[in-house]
Amino acid sequence: MNNILVANEVSKQFGSHIALNKVSLEIPKNSIYGLLGPNGAGKTTLIRIINQIIYPDQGAIFFDGKPLQAQHIAMIGYLPEERGLYKSMKVGEQALYLAQLKGLSKSDAKIRLKYWFDRLEIGDWWNKKIQELSKGMAQKIQFIVTVLHEPKLLIFDEPFSGFDPINANLIKDEILQLRDKGTTIIFSTHRMESVEELCEYIALVHKSEKILDGKLSDIKKAYKNNIYKVGLGLQSANGLLEDLKDKFEILSSEYVDGGSQLNFTVKLPSDDTGPFLSHLSGKANVNNFMETIPSANDIFIRTVQSK
Amino acid sequence: MGKLALIIKREYLAKVRNKSFVVMTFLSPILMVGMVVLIVYLTKINDNEIRTIGVLNESNYFSTDFQGTESNSFVKFKGIGLEAAKDSIQKMGFYGLLYIPNEQDLEQVASRSFFYSKDAPGSSILNNLENVFKDRLRLQRLQELGVSVSDFESVDNNFEIKTATFTGEQNLKGITEIKAFIGGAFGYLIMMFIIIYGGFVMRSVIEEKTTRIIEVIISSVKPFQLMLGKIIGTSLAGVTQFAIWIISAFVMFGVLILVFDIDPSALNSGASNTPVLIGGAAYVAASDSAMQLYANELFRIPWIMLICFFVIYFVLGYLIYSSIYAAIGAAVDNETDTQQFIFPIILPLMLAIYVGFFSVFNNPHGPIAVGFSLFPLTSPIVMLMRLPGGIGEGGVPIWEIAVSILLLIITFVGIVWLAAKIYRVGILMYGKKPSYRDLLKWLKY
């Protein structure tokens, strides 16, 4: 079994609203998986089903090859989008409580909490109340509580919303280390650019349906459109642009630095850049030449539009 | 089970450690005592006001009457006209003027007398004045009939019919009311507990929603476990509070007895002597034995059974209501939105109390009392009011108790199931004030 989690045609309906329509997913072990889509697409519903907070109307979820069961709760760590802590409870007490609810023994939880508190340098917060902490501080605790029971699968819903950049980086590093130790991580977000660099696999969800999934690099390859950004250094405005416009599909162009620099984007007929580059040689200095790789967002928009 | 215990423990500690809870626990008895003292004090002040009343007596009667009392003092006018008397009364700021005209006989004098005052006089004043007239009139009529005062007083009697059940047990007048009152106290206790601690459960659910911890928790435990743990934990805190109050009441009572060296039996005999003052010497013996009978009757109330049933009805009733409270808490985002849902809960509770006090007191086994003691939302309160009368013959038929408990259990299962459904959906809904229709829809999710 190479997949930690498999969803098989999962559907969920709330009244007349279809929240999920036959969504199937395969989440490989030890990967970072991006569950992407706009607000209201059904991501949170799917995650809640995985966490057994709600149950699917149809379809099934398999965790590590077995149908999802109550005992799997202890193997999943979940940081919801709507996350909070008891305001009037002390930090340590609260962390212990949440850890015990996940099935850790009290003594075990204490040892692990001490390790994490020291690691994130918050050891002296143990007896503070949550209401004395800033939002960023509280989020560190939420993160610790999520990962404390060493789950096989970690699910982060909108993980970086509300994190300040320093904490966001800290958490990002911790997540990467957890991945290296064998944990599978699901990121769910509507801000696709925020997790794109981290994800190995993605699934795009739109209007309750999965519209695309797979390895991010494969998807990008498939969605590559041979558009290149080119910057040329010119001796003078020598009619090169007109010449190029005749022979290639120029999407946009502009002169900068008083006409000494020409920037343009060009769409080539194939991914063979040879003919284009040899056409340029001798006519101008190629200052930069870069393929525009579609972002997950671009891919999403194109997929939605093509449907 | 381990998780449920964890939740109960947390909810209990969260409640018990709460500052306002601690303050209320120790302040409430003081406040209660203070309240009683204040009410007594205020009533006294109210009565202490001495009203001065002018008396313009032109007749030949009443010359020795109208002596000042605790609340009234009388000023007698002589030799001035009615209008002049009225003027001077107003100038001097007196409460009113009693005018007694000069007529042929007492009857006419009485019927023509007037009381003038700035605004409508209070009933206690009028009663005082009227009693003076009544006494005089009675005396005169007795004389006309040739009956002596002592003869008249011997005519007056304090007859009460004796009652007994068919099995020969002697019944005592008012014992039904006393028993219903004891039951009422239990019922009232249940109502207060439901309203106070149900509210705590609701607020605790709302707190989890507003702090957004709810989703973190229900990814670890089932919503039903959380709801149940919350209800149990909160009610244990409530039981703790009640226990502290009862114990502190006993301690305070004990301290009072020690400090002031009061003989507890003196309190009892003092109470039993009260009716003697009304009747006469002949009444003392009768009253003593009556008190004895009342005491016997109270001892004969099946206390153990009553407390057992109290626990059963209390637990079931409280669980039903508090799970509704939990569902309401889950449905809304803040406390102000709860009003529309709270009212329908309070309604059956109030109904139970009022029906209990008006209907059960008069007729503990009448159709209304029976109906409400079977209906599950009112039975915990109404049935407890009926139970001190006993079970079986002469009391609540056993089948009624069985049916009411059965209905209560069925309702309990049903309501908790429905409430858990609303709770499960509601805790994940933010930013929308739900309508009843929404709640119905949630049941189908």
Element (H, E) at A19: strand A17-28
Q: Does the residue B231 lie in any domain?
A: yes
Angle between helices B379-386 and B303-331 (to 10 degrees): 170
Residue B431, min C-alpha distance to chain A (Å): 12
Q: Is residue B435 domain-resident? A: yes
Which residue does chain A place closest to B208, by CA atoms? A86
The CATH number of residue B70's host domain is 3.40.190.10
Residue B62 and residue B106 in one domain: yes
pLDDT above 60 for A282: yes
Q: Which strand ranges, in their side-by-side order, compose the sheet holding A32-36?
A: A76-79, A153-157, A184-189, A32-36, A201-206, A209-215
Same domain, yes or no: B139 and B277? no
Q: Which residue of A has its CA nearest to B430?
A: A82
Mutate to test the interface with A, among B211, B421, B430, B443 (most CBs of A within 10 A): B211
The CA-based dihedral angle spanning residues A88, A89, A92, A96, taken in that order and rounded to the nearest 10 degrees = -150
The per-residue pLDDT for range A187-237, each reduced to its tens digit, is 998 888 777 788 899 999 988 999 888 998 888 888 888 888 888 887 765
Same domain for B125 and B187, yes or no, is no
Q: Encoding tokens for residue B181?
A: 């009152």
Instruction: Judge whether B17 lies within some domain.
Output: no
- Going by C-alpha positions, the residue among A30, A23, A36, A71 that lies closest to residue A153 is A30
Average pLDDT score over residue span A177-189: 92
Residues of A in contact with B6 (CB under 8 A): 97, 100-101
Identify whether residues B122 and B228 lie together within a single domain.
no
Residue A1's pLDDT band (cuts 50, 70, 90): low
d(Cα B294, Cα B271) in Å, to the nearest integer?
A: 12
Select from B221, B430, B444 the Cβ nearest to the Cβ of A82: B430
User: Over chain A, what is the mean pLDDT?
Assistant: 87
Contact B14 A85 (CB under 8 A): no
The residue segments making up the domain with residue B397 are: 174-444
**Both structure tokens of B136:** 């005089």
Within A139-183, strands assigned E span 153-157
Q: Please list every residue in chain B whose beta carbon sits closer than 8 Å to the beta carbon of residue A14.
A: 445
Residue A3 has phi, psi (to 5 degrees) of: -105, 130
Distance CA B379, CA A119 (A): 58
- Interface check for A120 against chain B (CB to CB < 8 A): the answer is no
CB crowding B328-363: b at 16 or more within 10 Å, else e: bbbbbbeeeebeebbeebeebbebbbebbbebbbee
Buried b (16+ CB within 10 A) or exposed e, A165-174: eebbebbbeb
Nearest CA in chain A to B204: A86
Q: If you search the block for the tokens 């309203």, which residue do you land on?
A: B195
Q: Between residues 211 and 230 of chain B, which touch chain A (CB distance below 8 Å)?
A: 211-221, 223
Q: What is the count of structural domains for chain B?
A: 2
Say if A76 is an interface residue toward chain B (CB within 8 Å): yes
Residues from chain B that touch A92, judged by Cβ atoms under 8 A, are: none
Q: Which residue has the tokens 């064998």?
A: A182
Question: Is residue B160 in a domain?
Answer: no
Tell whether B440 is within 8 A of chain A (Cβ): no
- pLDDT per residue as tens digits for the range B80-97: 888 888 888 888 888 888
Considering only CB atoms, which chain A residues are within 8 Å of B441?
A: 15
CA distance B327 to B424: 8
CA distance B32 to chain A (A): 29
- B133 and B230 in a single domain? The answer is no
The three-class DSSP label of residue A1 is: coil
Best mutation target among B6, B21, B215 (most A Cβ atoms within 10 Å) is B215
Q: A57 CA to chain B: closest CA distance, Å?
A: 9
- CB pairs under 8 A, 24+ apart, for B241-247? B241/B21, B241/B24, B241/B25, B242/B193, B244/B25, B244/B26, B245/B25, B245/B28, B245/B29
SS (H, E, C) chain B: CHHHHHHHHHHHHHHHHCHHHHHHHHHHHHHHHHHHHHHHHHHHHHHHCCEEEEEEECCCCCCCCCCCCCCEEEEEECCCCHHHHHHHHHHHCCCEEEEECCCCCHHHHHHHCEEEECCCCCHHHHHHHHHHHHHHHHHHHHHHHCCCHHHHHHHCCCCCCCEECCCCCEECCCHHHHHHHHHHHHHHHHHHHHHHHHHHHHHHHHHHHHCCCHHHHHCCCCHHHHHHHHHHHHHHHHHHHHHHHHHHHHHHHHHHHHHHCCCHHHHHHHHHHHHHHHCCHHHHHHHHHHHHHHHHHHHHCCHHHHHHHHHHHHHHHHHHHHHHHHHHHHHCCCHHHHHHHHHHHHHHHHHHHHHHHHHHHHCCCCHHHHHHHHCCCCHHHHHHHHHHHCECCCCECHHHHHHHHHHHHHHHHHHHHHHHHHHHHHCCCCCCCCCHHHHHHHHHC
Between A109-123, A263-277, B39-53, B291-305, the lowest mean confidence (pLDDT) is in B291-305
DSSP type of residue A257? G
Distance, CA of B130 to CA of B137 (rounded, Å): 10
State how beta strands B96-100 and B51-57 pair. Answer: parallel
Contact B263, B39 (CB under 8 A): no
Query: Is B35 a domain residue?
Result: no
Residue ranges in chain B modelled with pLDDT below 70: 1, 46-49, 70-71, 156-157, 165, 167-177, 180, 260-291, 297, 393-394, 445
Q: Which pLDDT belongs to residue B321? A: 92
Specify if B77 maps to a domain.
Answer: yes
Across the beta sheet with B51-57, the strand order is B72-77, B51-57, B96-100, B114-117
Which chain B residues are within 8 Å of A15, Cβ to Cβ? Answer: 441, 444-445
Last residue of a domain, one of B146, B163, B190: B146
Q: Do A76 and B219 touch (CB under 8 A)?
A: yes
Asked if B219's CB is within 8 angstroms of A53's CB, the reply is yes
CA distance A116 to chain B (A): 19
**Given CB atoms, is A55 within the 8 Å cutoff of chain B?**
no
Give yes or no: residues B321 and B419 share one domain. yes
Cα B395–Cα B399–Cα B400 angle in degrees, nearest 5: 65
Residues B312 and B408 in one domain: yes
Residues B337 and B226 in one domain: yes
pLDDT of residue A236: 66
SS3 A46: helix
CB contact under 8 A, B220 and A14: no
Q: Count how many Cα atoms sit within 13 Å of the Cα of residue B376 in the half-sphere of its side chain.
A: 19
Question: Nearest residue on chain B to A94, judged by CA atoms?
Answer: B10
Residue in A204, A170, A206, A174 with CA at minimum distance from that of residue A34: A204
pLDDT computed for residue B260 by the predictor = 66
Report yes or no: A167 at the B interface, CB cutoff 8 Å: no
Rounded Cα distance between B332 and B433, Å, is 6
B18 touches chain A (CB under 8 A): yes
CA B161 to chain centre: 29
Do B178 and B114 lie in a common domain?
A: no
Q: In this complex, which of A48, A53, A84 lies closest to B213 when CB atoms are compared?
A: A84
Residue B208: its chain A contacts at CB < 8 A? 86
Between A15, A48, A101, which is nearest B3 by CB?
A: A101
CB contact under 8 A, A86 and B211: yes
Residue B405's contacts (CB-CB under 8 Å, 6 or more residues apart) are B312, B313, B316
Q: What structural domains does chain A harbor?
A: 3-221 (3.40.50.300), 224-306 (3.30.70)
Structure tokens at A13: 């309906």
Domain end residue (candidates: B146, B166, B193): B146
CB contact (8 A) between residue A89 and residue B221: no
CB pairs under 8 A between A and B: 66
Per DSSP, the three-state class of A178 is: helix
Cβ separation A86–B213 shorter than 8 A: yes
Residues from chain B contacting residue A48 (CB–CB below 8 Å):
428
Q: Which of B129, B146, B163 is the last residue of a domain?
A: B146
Chain A closest-CA separation from residue B332 CA (Å): 16
B101 and B191 share a domain? no
- In this complex, which of B3, B215, B223 lies closest to A83 when CB atoms are compared? B215
CA distance B421 to chain A (A): 11
Shared-domain flag, residues B338 and B401: yes
Question: Which two structure tokens, joined as six digits, stand for A200?
Answer: 């190995």
From the list A14, A80, A101, the residue facing B215 with the nearest CB is: A80
Give domain status of residue B42, yes or no: no
- Look at residue A185 and tell me whether its pLDDT is greater than 90: yes
The ipTM assigned to this model is 0.79
- Kindly state whether B354 is in contact with chain A, defined as any CB-CB distance less than 8 angstroms: no
* CB nearest to B212's CB, from A73, A76, A84: A84
3-class SS at A182?
coil
Inter-chain residue contact B445 with A15, CB threshold 8 Å: yes
Which of A15, A82, A89 comes nearest B444 by C-beta?
A15
**Per the domain annotation, does B22 fall within a domain?**
no
